[in-house]
Amino acid sequence: MNKLNSYTRIDIMDYLRGFALLGILIVNGYQMLGYFSDSELHGALYSIINRKFYPILFFLFGSGCYLFMNRSNQKVNNRYPLFLRRICFLFVLGLIHTFYAPPGINDVLTIYAVLGLFIVIFFKRNKWTNLIVTVTIIALSIVTAFCQPPYYDDFKVWLYTLSYISQWFALVMLGYTMGQFKFFENVYGKLKYISIFLIVNICIYASLFYVRKLEIHPVVPEILESYTVASIIASSFLIILQWDKVKVILTPLKFYGQMSLTNYLAQSVLLIVFSIIIGFIPINSLIVCFIIHAILITFSIVWLKYFKMGPVEWLLRYFTYWSKIPNRKKSVRNNLESV
């Protein structure tokens, strides 16, 4: 069982997860603490980054599905039951999170689990087939958004729902397909293509400002923005993380992202705690978000000094393999034994 878990982490994915958590807390924090604290700066940040960080998590979930199913040292024949047990645990976690999370905060874990059931269909398909499927689903999300009446008086809920479900699934499929194309491997040799991809997406994103001014359609720019912003952030991180100094500066983000599941759930808990505090002692809601980030980043750094993975990540691994997996780092254990 130890061999099943002795895999090399892809640091870039942890950096991206950590960065996504920064934005998600600002969005969720404003949705909850905005009732208690009137912060114009927080409101401005919310309007800018709303709907721009969750796409990164969906993309990374797809990439994580690929890594889970295709680790070279995971020489087992029952990967499908393991994967299904894994997403069942995520679904239960999501239900618990939905129960205690403050109103207005959407849970992504249950959506992960549901989309995970559908992505199983594509595990044995080759990368080109999955790429075609991904492009088709992206087109579906855009077309269904475009078919939505441009005026909110004629708004069709089923089209809106279909468009966003297609978008979420497209992002998961994109992450899985990019895993098949070794997107996060040998990045240095792909910098030319990643740079071109970045420039193209920046141009598309810039053109969306013109589309919004025309007020042709309310939903299409939102869908396109989700794809372009996620692509811009991912490709930008792939480029800047080629410099060792940048990696050192952003190391706290890596620890934050390495325990992303634990920190994602802990953010909601701390938002509840601070909503109680802020009711008695008025605090700027944006400052509260910074405090929560500082607490969780510090906790992640200290925890990972002694353990290999976060507590919730360890539980997920336990229920996936249904076997107790050593989590304490050997050096720490040896020091304790010597004492």
SS3 letters for 170-191?
Answer: HHHHHHHHHHHCCCCCCHHHHH
Q: What is the mean pLDDT of residues 2-17?
A: 71
pTM > 0.85:
yes
Mean pLDDT over the full length of the chain: 85
Compute the half-sphere exposure of residue 265: CA atoms within 13 Å on the CB side of its CA: 19
Tokens (6 digits) for 103 = 């109103």
pLDDT of residue 4 exceeding 50: no
How many whole angstroms separate alpha carbon 127 and alpha carbon 178?
A: 8
Q: Return contacts of 136-140, CB within 8 angstroms, 24+ apart.
A: 137/166, 137/169, 137/170, 137/173, 138/166, 138/167, 138/170, 138/174, 138/227, 140/166, 140/170
Higher local confidence (pLDDT), 153 or 202: 202
What are the pLDDT digits (tens) for 95-139?
999 988 877 787 899 999 999 999 999 998 999 999 999 999 999
Tokens (6 digits) for 181 = 């194309």
Higher local confidence (pLDDT), 280 or 234: 234
User: In this structure, which amino acid lies at residue 156?
Assistant: K
What are the pLDDT digits (tens) for 179-212?
998 888 888 888 898 999 999 999 988 888 777 6
Q: Is 132 left (phi over 0), alpha (psi -120 to 50) or beta?
A: alpha
Smallest Cα–Cα separation from 84: which of 323, 320, 322?
320
What are the pLDDT digits (tens) for 60-85?
999 999 998 887 445 566 788 889 99
pLDDT above 90 as % of the chain: 47
User: What values do phi and psi take at 327, rounded to 5?
Assistant: -115, -30
- For helices 285-306 and 251-258, the axis angle rounded to 10 degrees is 80
Q: Write the CA distances from 76 to 3, 9, 31, 81, 318, integer angstroms.
A: 10, 20, 44, 11, 16
